[in-house]
Amino acid sequence: MPAPGQFLPRKSSAHRIACIALYRALLKQCPHIPLPDDVPLRGNTNPITHFIQKAFRKNVYHTSPKLVVTALETGYAACSLLHHAATSSPESPNPSLLQVHDLLRAQSNSYVASKLACPPKPPPGRPASKAYPGAPKAVDIRPLPKEKLTGRRHVPKLVAVHGIFPFLRFRKPQSAYLSRVLTQKVKRKLRRFERLAEMEGAKEMGEWEDVWEDTVSSVGHLKNESRRDSEWEDGEKGVEKGDYKPFKLDSQSWGEAPHYARLATWSALAKEGARARRLGSKMLEIIDQEQKLWEEERRERRHLKNLERKRRKLESLAQEGKSKNSSF
């Protein structure tokens, strides 16, 4: 935070106008300067333009008058150098153009050396989104004995997605395979709820259709016959009038099929919920067993640590006794 009364160059209008004018004058000379053939280009930006932009970004937050004056003097000297370099021809370069070319070669060599010293890291491998062949489920093999663990035991946590899809989280980050499975289950559940809404609307429309048929039948315009299939309606699909075949349905209600479809969807949701509850109960048992084993292993570690501390203390006391006896 600046002190009271401190001069900030970047907030001065005169200073900003002078810097912007210098910046534009420097960039104006860049397209007219011939570049050396032995300097590879990185991208579409002129290397001289990139160097000027980088220098201005570096000095934009300077508050020391000494640093600001030095930067401006360097900028005006660079503007004069670029102006003389722009007036030179590539066949007979003047000292200013040679100096610019030497600077570009030095920067290019420095960039290549830094890249060789620090090679880019290989891209991380893509996490597997499928289960490993033959990999057992965690609920079938947990808790593992201490001998099969690579480090200390971690008590898993029971996590539920949408309140119905439980799973055990041992460590983060979450595997891509688990994320894919949970996403599929959530989407399937949403599709079932959408189907329930559709079947509710279809059932209501079927009830209206039943009311309409009862009304028409009551005035004698519809015979009490088995309902025709929609494929054999008069005038549909090129079928002439009177050529349809009677098709007997199991039910005379239009709303019964959506009703049974809705019940089947609710049954699938109920089965999924019951399966999730059984799985959650099993996971809670695993957590309790893991917690007990973790407490036992912690007591064992503390006991071994106390024994090691006592052993070191006895060794130090014995060493002190030997040193006292040797002094006598």
Considering the domain boundaries, does residue 17 fall inside one?
yes
What is the Rg, in whole angstroms, of the alpha carbon atoms belonging to the chain?
Answer: 42
Highest mean pLDDT range out of 49-53, 58-62, 169-173?
A: 49-53
Instruction: Mark whether 69 and 170 lie in a shared domain.
Output: no
Q: Does the pLDDT at position 8 exceed 90?
A: no
Q: Does the pLDDT at position 158 exceed 70?
A: yes
> SS in 3 state form for 197-265?
HHHHHHHHHHHHHHHHHHHHHHCCCCCCCCCCCHHHCCCCCCCCCCCCCCCCCCCCCCCHHHHHHHHHH
CA angle 41, 46, 49 (to 5 degrees): 140
252 Cβ neighbours under 8 A, 6+ residues apart: 210, 227
Residue in the structure block whose two tokens are 């006896």? 325
Considering the domain boundaries, does residue 289 fall inside one?
yes
Which of 66, 95, 115 marks a domain boundary? 115
Considering the domain boundaries, does residue 135 fall inside one?
no
Pick the residue with more confidence: 79 or 215?
79
Instruction: Mark whether 98 and 163 lie in a shared domain.
Output: no
| Residue 68 to residues 5, 52, 72, 270, Cα–Cα distance (Å) | 18, 16, 6, 74
32 Cβ neighbours under 8 A, 6+ residues apart: 86
Which of 100, 115, 130 marks a domain boundary? 115
pLDDT grade for 23, boundaries at 50, 70 and 90 = very high
Instruction: Mark whether 27 and 176 lie in a shared domain.
Output: no
Instruction: Mark whether 105 and 154 lie in a shared domain.
Output: no
Considering the domain boundaries, does residue 288 fall inside one?
yes
State pLDDT tens for residues 216-270.
877 755 444 444 444 434 443 433 444 434 434 455 678 888 888 889 999 998 9
Pick the residue with more confidence: 286 or 178?
286
| pLDDT cut 70: percent of the chain above it | 85
CA torsion through residues 221, 226, 232, 236, sign: positive
Q: What are phi and psi of 161, to 5 degrees?
A: -100, 125
**Angstrom distance (rounded) from CA 249 to CA 256:** 11
Instruction: Mark whether 170 and 279 lie in a shared domain.
Output: yes
Which of 95, 115, 135 marks a domain boundary? 115
Query: What is the structure's pLDDT at 298?
Result: 93
Question: Tell me, what DSSP letter sits at residue 163?
Answer: T
Neighbours of 19 (CB within 10 A): 20
Instruction: Mark whether 81 and 34 lie in a shared domain.
Output: yes
Instruction: Mark whether 152 and 279 lie in a shared domain.
Output: yes
Query: In the structure encoding, which two tokens stand for residue 242, read together?
Result: 């009177």
State pLDDT tens for residues 274-308.
998 999 899 999 999 999 999 999 999 999 999 99
| pLDDT cut 90: percent of the chain above it | 22
Residue in the structure block whose two tokens are 């060789």? 116
**Angstrom distance (rounded) from CA 319 to CA 326:** 11
Instruction: Mark whether 198 and 97 lie in a shared domain.
Output: no
Instruction: Mark whether 160 and 296 lie in a shared domain.
Output: yes
Closest CA to 132 of 177, 173, 185: 177
Q: What is the number of structural domains in the chain? A: 2
Query: What is the structure's pLDDT at 303?
Result: 93
Q: Full-prediction pTM beyond 0.75?
A: no
Domain coverage including residue 49: 9-115
Q: Does the pLDDT at position 317 exceed 50?
A: yes
Considering the domain boundaries, does residue 84 fall inside one?
yes
pLDDT grade for 328, boundaries at 50, 70 and 90 = low
Instruction: Mark whether 197 and 275 lie in a shared domain.
Output: yes
pLDDT grade for 327, boundaries at 50, 70 and 90 = low
Considering the domain boundaries, does residue 299 fall inside one?
yes
Considering the domain boundaries, does residue 311 fall inside one?
yes
pLDDT grade for 5, boundaries at 50, 70 and 90 = low
Instruction: Mark whether 181 and 304 lie in a shared domain.
Output: yes
Considering the domain boundaries, does residue 129 fall inside one?
no
Highest mean pLDDT range out of 39-43, 204-208, 299-303?
A: 299-303
Query: What is the structure's pLDDT at 245?
Result: 42
Q: Which residues pair with 159 in a beta bridge?
A: 167
Closest CA to 95 of 105, 84, 106: 84
**Angstrom distance (rounded) from CA 295 to CA 153:** 10
Instruction: Mark whether 175 and 295 lie in a shared domain.
Output: yes
